[in-house]
Chain A
């Protein structure tokens, strides 16, 4: 790549013609539906309708058709096809693919510009969180009083799994998706990601997976948690096949994104940007990406095995055929525990960045931050069976897993050390990102401590499978990760839009969400301590007061999120204008104009120091 930009004005019909240039989300949807129908028709025609596996086989075929058609429709397969035909992309083709001169239309297309992909991830995160949030409100509305008055058990039980997976997917991408894409390449001094087309592929594959997951609700009959344990997953209707295929497709998206992030950071840093001069957020992004590359293949594997048990009569998890449900649980949690750190690490790393900028101090002990994140990621692959303490599997391994799980509290504690050390005696600028960061700090200690309770086997024997567990991980996901994600959004929003996220609305949203989280989940701890299991559609009278309070709190969180949504939408075009560096920060993304031009830099910068030299002489202007 040259260091100067060449924008040729000759319009030599980029990409060779009209069809490729007209591909967008609409053609993707059409392609997906068309091929889904085609594969359904073929399966329906050639398979024996009376066989027990018929409906599962047809469903799986349909989902495969959907994703192939979706990819074809969005233009994901154009580049490999052109390559096979010997038609390499010209520079004009590449610039066209990057969205040059296409205005707003490029956000609906297979656009390789990492900044466009970042904004598309913002939208996808909000869509997934919104859909999951609607289900959360349905669940809490049902649980406001004992008995089934709002929806019945059958409908309710179907909500739980889809709410779970929607939120998990939303949080996996919540910080790494928008900011891992928009900001990380610029922070490294690169013009784009290492593999720009794969970047677009990861986003559109996520859209395809989301389509499958949302369809599950319509197809129905999925009354198990998002963990889809076996053998109960065998009892589910065809919704289970859609659910499992959504996971398999999602794994493709996240693997591609992870490879892209790591390669970008390792190979495309600009001159002088040594690893030690990287902003700490970039470290968080690649550690999380590496952990995800380790963990998510297990997820695809276990869901593929579930599909095989349902469609091909294999017995991986069926006891009567020689298998065991314990295998599914192990494989799932081998993914499931590292995965929560894949979710947490980008949020924490973003908060390290925000703390430094807002307190006007360097990150305290940059090395400890890296050691903590790396240690956490490494240890996290050794703790998975703490989710299985009560399954009766391998009781002798209880002690070792207790050891590794309790040890994880040490690197987690280091996160507090770095945050506290960075904020200590700083000149803390109380803007929106800072406020949400303090919310994270207050919530994360509760999340962490309650996790330590659960890591102890005698306590876990009492509290496993109760609402205590649900409250613990909601303190992690809602109280901590979501607050970190909103802080990151408020922080980088001016770089994307050129405007501040409305400060007043953001504060209203903060207080509603913060108080809401305490009301909702502290009362939920009480429900669990008193003896209420989780995934209950109805409950005994002794739990009615705590549940009522929990639902009231949930409505508060919902109100806060709605205010936040309104702020994001209205500030985009009407917010208070912000310059290119409104926080007076030093990392490279603030050194480029807002919005950053295509290819980011007119001249690639040469780096001589890290971005944390507040109070030290500013070498870079």
Chain B
């Protein structure tokens, strides 16, 4: 084979192979299991403020995961794992907590941390911490590593001990504990949040299963 033909084969190898790889890559990239984005609703009254409304459920039957609760109907879940908020904004968060609870494994998380004023409002009452023996979930948000600002927001969500029945989607729950708090976003980027009260299946630490799966107890907060 002369040199120019060899060169042609070499180029063809790169182009063909690269094309095949790109195809494989795009197929992989579309395997992202995120739900559709929940955008922060801008406030009518205050500038640079918006509202996010979430729920936490004891299973996946509330409707977000499709009919029958998706592949893991018995897993606890947040109502959305793909939160989108603007930069340099005060985000008002309302979480309706429908799940029961228990004792925190790490009492560090019974405190409200990183919110505006260092407080949260639980069923109308302003608190800085909750009873660590009666927690359902937490909402723990961490910042972008190395961006110069360490954002750390953690709010414990008490267990729901109400009795009045409520139906959402295919799930039967009781009226929720309503938790409200605010935090300020910084620069653009993707922040990670998850619940820090583990209840996944394995014996050592229980951060497997729902805890480590987007769409259940972990998600992202995109600031743009």
Contact = CB atoms under 8 A, between A and B. Distances in A.
Direct contact of A and B (CB under 8 A): yes
Interface of A: 52, 134, 137-138, 141, 146-148, 150-155, 221, 223, 230-231, 234-237, 310, 313, 318-321, 502, 504-505, 508-509, 538-543, 558-559, 562-563, 565-567, 570, 574-576
Interface stretch (B4-12, B91-99, B156-164): B4-12
Closest 9 CB pairs of A and B: A540-B146, A566-B13, A235-B208, A562-B17, A231-B204, A504-B6, A234-B202, A563-B10, A235-B202
Interface residues of chain A: helix, strand, loop or mixed (majority):
helix
Nearest to B7: A504
Nearest to A508: B10
Contacts of A539: 145-146
B200 interface: yes
A235 B144 contact: no
Given A147-B189, A558-B21, A234 B204 contact: yes
Nearest to B6: A504
Given A147-B144, A543-B146, A563-B14, 19 more contacts: A52-B201, A134-B24, A138-B24, A138-B25, A146-B189, A150-B29, A151-B28, A151-B32, A154-B33, A154-B213, A231-B205, A235-B202, A236-B208, A237-B208, A318-B203, A502-B6, A562-B16, A567-B9, A574-B1
A575 B13 contact: no
B146 A152 contact: no
Interface string B17-28: 110010011001
A320 B32 contact: no
Interface string B26-56: 0011011110000000000000000000000
A567 B214 CA distance: 43
A105 B218 CA distance: 51
Contacts of A504: 1, 3, 6-7, 10
Contacts of B144: 146-147, 538, 540
A385 to B, nearest CB: 23
A505 B13 CA distance: 10
Given A138-B25, A150-B29, A223-B212, A318 B10 contact: no
B146 A542 contact: yes
A231 B208 CA distance: 11
B178 interface: no
Nearest to B3: A504
B69 to A, nearest CB: 16
Contact of B203 (A141, A320, A538): A320
Contacts of B204: 230-231, 234-235, 318-320
B122 to A, nearest CB: 30
Nearest to A154: B214
A559 B18 contact: yes
A235 B200 contact: yes
B12 A566 contact: yes
A508 B14 CA distance: 11
B214 A559 contact: no
A334 B205 CA distance: 26
Interface residues of B, number: 42
Interface string B194-224: 0000001111111111001110000010000
B146 A563 contact: no
Given A152-B220, A234-B202, A540-B144, A505 B6 contact: yes
B130 interface: no
B18 A234 contact: no
B151 interface: no
B214 A152 contact: yes
Contacts of B201: 52
A514 to B, nearest CB: 15
A236 B203 CA distance: 12
Contact of A148 (B10, B17, B190): B190
Interface string B136-148: 0000000011110
A567 B32 CA distance: 36
B28 A566 contact: no
A560 to B, nearest CB: 9
B18 A562 contact: yes
Contacts of B21: 134, 137, 558
B19 to A, nearest CB: 10
11 contacts: A147-B190, A150-B29, A151-B28, A151-B29, A152-B33, A504-B6, A504-B7, A505-B13, A542-B146, A563-B10, A565-B17
Contacts of B203: 234, 313, 318, 320-321
B195 to A, nearest CB: 15
Contacts of B7: 504-505, 508
B9 to A, nearest CB: 5
Contacts of B14: 559, 562-563, 566
Contacts of B206: 235
A235 B207 contact: yes
Contacts of B189: 146-147
Interface in B160-197: 189-190, 192
A225 B168 CA distance: 40
Contact of B9 (A137, A223, A502): A502
Contacts of B205: 231, 235
A126 B7 CA distance: 22
Contacts of A318: 203-204
B147 A540 contact: yes
A52 B6 CA distance: 58
Contacts of A235: 200, 202, 204-209, 212
A141 B25 contact: yes
A505 B29 contact: no
B29 A541 contact: no
Central interface residue in A148, A538, A563, by most chain B CB within 10 Å: A563
A414 to B, nearest CB: 37
Contacts of B24: 134, 138
Given A134-B24, A150-B29, A502 B208 contact: no
Nearest to B24: A134
Contacts of B13: 505, 562-563, 565-567
A153 B144 CA distance: 14
Contacts of A223: 212
A234 B206 CA distance: 9
Given A320-B203, A502-B1, A152 B34 contact: yes
Contact of B1 (A508, A538, A542, A576): A576
Nearest to A55: B201
A303 to B, nearest CB: 17
Contacts of B33: 152, 154-155
Contacts of A542: 146
